[in-house]
Structure 1
Amino acid sequence: MQTHLTEQFLNTPEGQEADAILRACVHCGFCTATCPTYQLLGDELDGPRGRIYQLKQVFEGVPAGRSTQLHLDRCLSCRACETTCPSGVRYGRLADLGREVIERQVARPWRQRILRYALRKVLPRPRLFGPLLRLGQLARPLLPTALRARVPPAQPVRPRPQRPHPRTLLALEGCVQSAATPATNDAAARVLDRLGIRLLSPAGQGCCGAVSHHLSASDEALDYMRANIDAWWPAIEDGAEAIVISASGCATVVKDYGHLLRHDPAYADKAARVSLLARDLAEVLAAEDLSGLSGLGAGRRIAFHAPCTLQHGQRIVGVVERILSDAGFELSPVSDAHLCCGSAGTYSILQPELAQRLRADKLSKLAAGAPELIATANVGCQLHLQAGGTLPVRHWIELLDEASGAAS
């Protein structure tokens, strides 16, 4: 499409990037067919094409208002539209750029400002979020039903293997995941240990930066990214093969470090190297010889929920399903598997009504094949689905860990 961005934006790297993305869009409308919020609301302004038009106006100098901000807030950033787009429009990046501009132009109601600030300051900090979560878990039996469902039960933590191996991978422990679902990386460490790989967790790492990034606090997000690079760099120089990330949402962001820090002279080269080394756990396992797992999951019927960050963000499609099937698990069919469950980072907190409608539909589709449990690949999806249904929801690596552990 034709664009006429103001000099204010065209003279900045962010404006030039937005202009290139906008020019790639031909407004064909294919994206609306796979947009969860458009399907729910039926409003063109709540679909990718409508949001792109609103963002184009903002970058061309039309002042944004609360209405524009609301339509962008309702976007899940699931990036299903990117998978569908025949022109390769990087809508997710455009939305991030536009949100920052709108955030500067439009003052939010004070309740929203407080909530968004609290999410940025609590969720990425395990030393703060962890104790608050444990307090909620202790009080869980006394909480109202709706609130109780949002507090995940405590997971048992087992020691990780300490055996030395010739091969070493680095782990991103994450923020919410390290406190709410520590069994995920524990299970990953045991599975990798059985494959002759040591999983190392360097001190000093923390949140991948996703929470701040998607809440339009880009400087804060970049600080988290730099801290992780600093924590991983000595091990990278010592020959660590890769950075393995078990939360697909975090993996999507870490793989983008090189792009997000490309203008930072002190970190650009390191960030690019980190992005090249970043691997989703599914990619790591798929490259290994898993013949020893064959048949170990026989007799267990499960439904796999593919997070948007796995299938649309990283474009990893069918890999986890193949790993589980090869291990003997029977995967029940899931219709409309491309649609978001409504978790989307902080979306389930900031847009609860839409998130709950999306979750109800997703749980219905997942349960249709009568599985014994739901497996997924991202902590946000795991907690969100778990809070709204009766079927257990677990990270897929836990299933492999149990199956291979029982056989060893």
Structure 2
Amino acid sequence: MQTELAPEFKNTPEGREAEAILRKCVHCGFCTATCPTYQLLGDELDGPRGRIYLIKQVLEGKPPTQSTQLHLDRCLTCRNCETTCPSGVQYGHLVDIGRKIVEDKVPRQPADKALRWALKEGLNSPLFAPAMKLGQAVRGLLPAKLKAKVPEPRPAGAWPQRTHARKMLMLAGCVQPAMAPNINSATARVLDAAGIQVVIAPDAGCCGAIKFHLNDHEGGRAQMRANIDAWWPQVEKGEVEAIVMNASGCGVTVREYGHMLKDDSAYAEKAARISALTRDLSELLPDIAPTLKPRVKPPSGLVAYHPPCTLQHGQKLRGGVEKHLRTLGFDVQVAQNESHLCCGSAGTYSVLQPELSYKLRDRKLGHLNQLQPSAIVSANIGCITHLQSGSEVPVRHWVELLDGAMR
């Protein structure tokens, strides 16, 4: 696609990156077939091709409007279009650039602005955990909409105390320890059984995705740098062999630290090293499954697996979870219909775009429930919480399923 950038963008890093991405797009429209919002709304501007046009117009100098902003806001950033695109268009990076430019040029309504500020500052605040604990204590009294965001409290279980020669760093996450603490401890127990010690750097915090995707790019990058600083001593000394992620939303972000900080001379090399070391938990299964298999006693009943967009489209990791759980004896199935589509969680999307989000959730649960599962598993805290809010079937992380079968 030919484009002529406006002078204000022509010689900026963002402008050059956006222009390179735009030039790859041939406007074939294959992406619209797999875009969740296009399927729901049927509007060209609510699909990747239309949003690319809108971003191109802004980069060429056309003033954006609130309508431009709305169509970009409605994007889930599920990156399904990237999986579909035959030309390799990096739509996710382009929409991040476009949203930030529009955010700087189009004032938001005060209520919308306040909500977005509360999300980007509150979800990774030290106050989030006590607020969640309080919410869980009075969960039965909460209005339905708020109750859907507060999962039932679940114990974390014991953290393994053994030490091993093999060590891996793990990001605890910002909301996961408060909302589903058993995911991290189950990960530690499973890896401990395979002879791997999980190490959590106390100064590592939010991966940076929340702020970055709410258009606070500098705030997000500051969190990325803080994590690199927290991990670097052990990485530099060669004390850890990988940085393992059990939330695919965090994983896809940390895997892109090298890209996000490529223009930062002080951090570019370190960020690239951190990205190269990052592994989704499922990538360890081929290595650890043979060791674990004698200890695993899978429960009876079919388990439905929902692959998060951040895993199958963002990280391009497809088929591994279900394949290796089956080798361990679990009866795992993926819905035959629309397994590639987003469940509607998409970070803060379920709060900012609830109507579209819940339509996608119910659509996803309809397909999963056709399998008549005894449980639903996924690989990202956002998907798990969102699906559970509409499901009578328990929804868990797959590592909790494996941990339970070992115990």
Q: TM-score range by the shorter chain?
A: over 0.9
Query: Is 1:179 aligned with 2:181?
Result: no
Moved over 4 A (4+): none
1:271 aligns with 2:263: no
| Helix, strand or coil at the partner of 1:169 | strand
TM-score between the two structures when normalised by the length of structure 1: 0.97
For residue 347 of structure 1, what is the aligned residue in structure 2? Answer: 349
Q: Does 1:104 align with 2:75?
A: no
- What is the CA–CA distance in structure 1 between the aligned matches of 2:319 and 2:146, rounded to whole Å? 34
2:338 is equivalent to residue 331 of structure 1:
no
CA drift at 1:276: 0.5
The 5 Å alignment of 1:9-158 reads: 9-125=9-125, 127-158=126-157
Unpaired runs of at least 5, structure 1? none
CA contact (8 A) 2:299 2:405 kept: no
Amino acid at match of 1:160: W
CA distance in 1, matches of 2:305, 2:334: 9
Distance between the aligned counterparts of 2:64 and 2:166, measured in 1?
Answer: 52
Once the two structures are superposed, residues 251-270 of structure 1 have per-residue CA deviations (whole angstroms, 9 ceiling, x without a partner) of 00000001111111111111
| Counterpart contact for 2:150–2:179, Cα < 8 Å | no
Shift of 1:291: 5.1
Superposition deviation, residue 298 in structure 1: 5.3
| 3-state SS of paired residue (1:388) | coil
> Any idea what the Cα deviations from partners look like across 1:314-366, whole Å, max 9, x if unmatched?
00000001121111111234021000000000000000000000001000001
| Whole-Å separation in 2 of the counterparts to 1:404 and 1:148 | 32
**Counterpart residue number, 1:392:** 394
Supply the distance in 2 between the matched residues of 1:286 and 1:248 (Cα, whole angstroms).
18
Contact 1:332 1:370 in 2 (8 A): no
Q: In the alignment, is the contact (CA less than 8 A) between 2:168 and 2:198 conserved in 1?
A: yes
Q: Given the superposition, is the C-alpha separation of residues 333 and 274 from structure 1 closer, same or farther in structure 2, using an over 3 Å criterion?
A: closer
**Distance in 1 (alpha carbons) for counterparts of 2:310 and 2:19:** 25
SS, match of residue 288 in structure 1:
helix
Q: What is the RMSD of the two structures over their aligned residues, measured on CA atoms?
A: 1.1
Q: Percent identity?
A: 56
Structure 2 residue ranges without an equivalent (≥5): none
Q: Is the 8 A contact 2:245 2:280 kept in 1?
A: yes
Alpha-carbon distance, 1:404 to partner: 1.7
Cα distance between partner residues in 2 of 1:70 and 1:246: 32
Q: TM-score, normalised by structure 2?
A: 0.97
State which drifts further: 265-274 or 40-49: 265-274
Q: Distance in 2 between matches of 1:339 and 1:61?
A: 34
Q: Bigger CA drift: 327-336 or 357-366?
A: 327-336
